[in-house]
C-alpha cells in the first residue's frame, strides 16, 4: 500500500494512477490522516447509446397533471 500526501498526489498524479492500474493500493492523506483511496474505474467501458431504453419506459397518461393535495404540501396552502 502506498501513502501520498496531497502535495505529492498533485505533483505525481500520473505516477499514482499508474500504480493503481498496476494493482497497488494508493491512499491520499492530509496531515497524516487518510482521506481518500484511489481505485481503478470499473464502470461501463462503452458510452451510453441514445434510445437504449426505448419501449421499456411507460409514462402514465396523467403524468403532467397537478395534484392540489401535493401542491398544498409543498407550498403550505390549505387543501
Position 18 in a domain: yes
Residue 67 domain-assigned (yes or no): no
Q: Which domain holds residue 30?
A: 2-38
Total number of domains in the chain: 1
- Asked whether residue 44 is domain-assigned, the answer is no
Residue 19 domain-assigned?
A: yes
Which residue has 403532467 as its cell numbers? Answer: 64
- pTM: predicted TM-score of the whole model, two decimal places: 0.56
What local confidence, expressed as pLDDT, does residue 48 receive? Answer: 86
pLDDT (tens digit, 0 to 9) for every residue of the chain, 79 residues total? 999 999 999 999 999 999 999 999 999 999 999 999 999 998 888 888 899 889 999 999 998 999 888 888 999 876 5
Residue 11's domain is classified under what CATH number? 3.40.1620.10
Q: How far is CA 64 from CA 49, 50, 59, 71, 78, in A?
A: 27, 24, 10, 13, 22
Q: Which three cell numbers stand for residue 55?
A: 419501449
Amino acid at each position: 500500500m502506498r501513502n501520498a500526501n496531497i502535495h505529492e498526489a498533485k505533483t505525481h498524479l500520473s505516477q499514482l494512477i499508474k500504480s493503481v492500474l498496476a494493482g497497488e493500493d494508493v491512499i491520499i492523506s492530509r496531515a497524516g490522516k487518510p482521506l481518500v483511496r484511489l481505485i481503478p474505474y470499473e464502470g461501463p467501458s462503452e458510452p451510453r447509446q441514445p434510445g437504449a431504453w426505448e419501449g421499456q419506459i411507460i409514462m402514465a397518461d396523467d403524468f403532467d397533471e397537478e395534484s392540489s393535495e401535493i401542491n398544498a404540501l409543498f407550498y403550505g396552502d390549505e387543501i
